[in-house]
Amino acid sequence: MSPKAKRPVGESCWGHFGNSCTPQELKECPLTEFDDKRAFKVIAGKLACKECNDGILRTTAGHDMHYRTVHEGLQVYSSFASGVDHEESSMGGRANLTVPKGRDPHRASLLKELRALGVTAKELTSEGYAIGELKDAHYTFKEIYASGAYSLEDMCKASVTRQIKTAGIKLKDLVDAGYSLGELRKNGYDCKTLKNAPGLSPTVADLRAANFLLHDLREAGCSLSDLKDLRRPNSQHDPAFTLQDLKKEGYTCKDMRKAGFTLAELRSGYTAADMKVTHYTTKAELARDGFTLAELKLANFTPFELKAAGVSQKELLAIGFSRADIKTQ
DSSP assignment of 266-328 equals: HTTT--HHHHHTTT---HHHHHHTT--HHHHHHTT--HHHHHHTT--HHHHHHTT--HHHHHH
Q: Cite the DSSP H helix spans in 48-150.
A: 60-66, 107-116, 121-126, 131-136, 141-145
Average the pLDDT over 22-42 and give the result.
47
Confidence of residue 195 (pLDDT cuts 50, 70, 90): very high
Question: 10 Å Cβ neighbour count for 301?
Answer: 24
pTM, 2 dp: 0.57
CA–CA gap between residue 281 and residue 305 (Å, rounded)? 10
* Overall residue count recorded for the chain in this entry: 329
- In the prediction, which pLDDT does 25 show? 42
- Give the residue with greater pLDDT, 13 vs 241: 241
> How much of the chain exceeds pLDDT 70, in percent?
66
Average the pLDDT over 133-154 and give the result.
94
- Kindly report the average pLDDT of the chain as a whole number: 74
Least confident of 34-43, 138-147, 266-275, 297-306: 34-43
Average the pLDDT over 159-167 and give the result.
95
- Give the residue with greater pLDDT, 282 vs 212: 212
314, exposed or middle or buried, with CB in 10 Å at 0-12, 13-18, 19+?
A: exposed
Residue 27 has pLDDT above 80, yes or no: no
> Over the stretch 98-141, which tens digit does the pLDDT of each residue have?
434 443 444 556 677 678 777 888 888 887 788 998 998 899 99
- In the prediction, which pLDDT does 257 show? 82
Residue 280 has pLDDT above 70, yes or no: no
> How much of the chain exceeds pLDDT 90, in percent?
30
| HSE value, Cβ hemisphere, 13 Å, CA-based, for 263 | 21
Confidence of residue 279 (pLDDT cuts 50, 70, 90): low
Do 165 and 187 meet the contact criterion of CB atoms below 8 Å apart? Answer: yes
- In the prediction, which pLDDT does 70 show? 73
> Over the stretch 57-109, which tens digit does the pLDDT of each residue have?
776 666 666 766 677 655 444 333 333 344 443 333 334 444 344 434 445 56
- 141: nearest Cα among 170, 164, 125: 164
